[in-house]
Chains A and B, each alone.
Chain A
Amino acid sequence: MIEIKNLKKSFGNNLVWENVNLTIPDGQTLAIIGKSGCGKSVLMKHINALLTPDSGTVTVDGKNVHELSYVDLRILRQRFGFLFQGAALFDSISAFENVAFPLRYFTKWPEEKIQRRVMECLEMVNLENIGDKGTAELSGGMRKRVGLARAIVLEPDYLMYDEPTSGLDPETSDEINDLIIHMSDNLNITSIVVTHDMHSVLRISDYAAFLDEQKLSWYGTIDEMRVAKHERLKSFTKASEYQID
Chain B
Amino acid sequence: MDIFYDFGRYCQLLYQAIRSSTEVKTYYKNFVSEMIKTGYDSLPIVMLAGAFTGAVLTIQTSYQLVSPVIPKSTIGAIVVQSIVIELAAVISGLVLAGRVGARIATELGTMRVSEQIDAIESMGFNSISFLVVPRVLASFVMFPVLYIAAASCGIGGGALAGVISGQLPAAEFLKGGREYFLAWDVVFGLTKAVVFGFVITSISCFKGYYATGGAEGVGKATTNAAVLSCIYILLSDLLLAAILL
Query: Which residues in chain B, 10-53, are within 8 Å of chain A measured between CB atoms?
Result: 25-26
CA distance A136 to B126 in the complex (A): 25
> Which residues of A sit under 8 angstroms from B116, Cβ to Cβ?
88-91
CA distance A91 to B112 in the complex (A): 12
Does more than half of chain A's interface fall in helix, strand or loop, or is it mixed?
Answer: mixed
CA distance A89 to B26 in the complex (A): 18
Query: Which residues in chain A, 58-82, are within 8 Å of chain B measured between CB atoms?
Result: 70, 74-78, 80, 82
> Which residues of B sit under 8 angstroms from A48, Cβ to Cβ?
122
Contact with B along A162-190 (1 / 0, CB 8 A): 00000000000000000000000000000
Residue of A nearest to B126 (CB): A74
Q: B68: CB under 8 A from chain A?
A: no
CA distance A48 to B119 in the complex (A): 11
> Which residues of B sit under 8 angstroms from A131, Cβ to Cβ?
none
CA distance A174 to B74 in the complex (A): 81
Shortest distance between the CB of B76 and any CB in chain A (Å): 46
CA distance A50 to B115 in the complex (A): 11
- Given the known inter-chain contacts A88-B114, A105-B26, please indicate yes or no for A82 contacting B125, CB distance below 8 A: no
Residue tally, chain B, CB below 8 Å to A: 15
Residue of A nearest to B113 (CB): A86
* Complex contact A78–B119 (CB within 8 A): no
Shortest distance between the CB of B103 and any CB in chain A (Å): 12
Does more than half of chain B's interface fall in helix, strand or loop, or is it mixed?
Answer: helix
Q: B166: CB under 8 A from chain A?
A: no
> Which residues of A sit under 8 angstroms from B126, Cβ to Cβ?
70, 74
Partner of B119, one of A70, A82, A105, A106: A82
CA distance A50 to B122 in the complex (A): 7
Q: B118: CB under 8 A from chain A?
A: yes
CA distance A90 to B125 in the complex (A): 14
CA distance A50 to B127 in the complex (A): 12
Shortest distance between the CB of A69 and any CB in chain B (Å): 12
CA distance A190 to B126 in the complex (A): 25
Q: B69: CB under 8 A from chain A?
A: no
Shortest distance between the CB of A164 and any CB in chain B (Å): 15
Q: B242: CB under 8 A from chain A?
A: no
> Which residues of B sit under 8 angstroms from A76, Cβ to Cβ?
124
Q: A45: CB under 8 A from chain B?
A: yes
Residue of A nearest to B25 (CB): A105
* Complex contact A84–B123 (CB within 8 A): no
CA distance A45 to B119 in the complex (A): 11
> Which residues of A sit under 8 angstroms from B115, Cβ to Cβ?
84-86, 88
Chain A contacts to B: CB under 8 angstroms: 45, 48, 50, 70, 74-78, 80, 82, 84-86, 88-91, 101-102, 105-106
Given contacts A82-B119, A88-B115, A90-B116, 11 further A-B contacts (CB under 8 A): A74-B126, A76-B124, A77-B122, A77-B124, A78-B124, A80-B122, A84-B119, A86-B115, A91-B116, A105-B25, A105-B26
